[in-house]
Amino acid sequence: MSTVSKNCRFCDLLANPFDDGLPREYDLPIHKTDDFVLLPAIGPLLIGHVMIVSVNHYPSLLSMPNDIRIKFDEYVSYLHTFWGDGAKFLLAEHGSSVTSSDGACIAHTHINLLPFAKISDIVIDANYPEIQRANKVCELSSYYRAYFLLKYTGSDAIVHDAANAPSQYLRIKYVANKHGTDWDWRLNPNYDQIDMTISAWQQRM
């Protein structure tokens, strides 16, 4: 079974958050289970933007064993209880390829969770065709190349091929839809919104 990978930021962070001295607050889990941790997103797209990160090292959600994906669906349902029946989650993942450099900027399973976002906030371009959909993530077929996964509360999980797509593509599309330009989390970490995100989740849990 895959556990940790050398030179992986998430593996290093989860194994020893004190490695570089005192941990930054956004490096500490808001919540964790045996299989996933909930971390605040750096450069949050809205208040409440977090990432569901796998404890063990896998390049993407759809490369993980199905029993873990069942637990993922259960974990999302559990997190939803803290936001009330009226809340809608938008889940968005840029899954990395097992065999190439295509995919997310960090090749370790991490799914963006955006509370109160709309399904129309991220629209995938036609040159990244849909390849499968299912009611639940655990019902999707395993996939080992780069892909985009979008799942909105009450709607199907939809997977698009993402061959040769740029890193941070989903962030670019979300910010462009809001007529903004600050999509790069490295250049715009937005620490104030990180603090508000942590507080928003801690107040509910």
Using the structure block, give the residue that is written with the tokens 């605040």.
Answer: 40
**Chain segment 68-111, per-residue pLDDT in tens:** 999 999 999 999 999 987 889 999 999 998 777 677 777 889 99
Residues facing residue 112 across a β-bridge: 51, 92
Inform me whether the pLDDT recorded for 148 exceeds 80: yes
For 40, the enclosing helix (H) or strand (E) is strand 36-40
User: Is 1 within the bounds of a domain?
Assistant: no
Determine the 3-state secondary structure of 191 from DSSP: helix
Select from 33, 45, 117, 120 the least CA-distant residue to 83: 117
- At 2, the pLDDT band (50, 70, 90 cuts) reads low
Q: Can you give the pTM of this predicted structure?
A: 0.90
User: Is 170 within the bounds of a domain?
Assistant: yes
* Count of domains for the chain: 1
**CATH number for 171:** 3.30.428.10
User: Is 68 within the bounds of a domain?
Assistant: yes
Mean pLDDT along residues 139-158: 96
**Chain segment 27-83, per-residue pLDDT in tens:** 788 999 999 999 999 999 999 999 999 999 999 999 999 999 999 999 999 999 999
**Chain segment 114-125, per-residue pLDDT in tens:** 998 988 999 999
User: How far is Cα 173 from Cα 123, in angstroms, rounded to an integer?
Assistant: 7
User: Is 148 within the bounds of a domain?
Assistant: yes
Question: What does the pLDDT read at residue 20?
Answer: 56
Top-confidence residue, 199 or 189: 199
Residues of the domain holding 123: 9-204
User: Is 2 within the bounds of a domain?
Assistant: no
- To the nearest whole number, what is the mean pLDDT of the chain? 89
User: Is 186 within the bounds of a domain?
Assistant: yes
User: Is 3 within the bounds of a domain?
Assistant: no
User: Is 4 within the bounds of a domain?
Assistant: no
**Terminal CA-to-CA distance of the chain, rounded, Å?**
31
Inform me whether the pLDDT recorded for 11 exceeds 50: yes
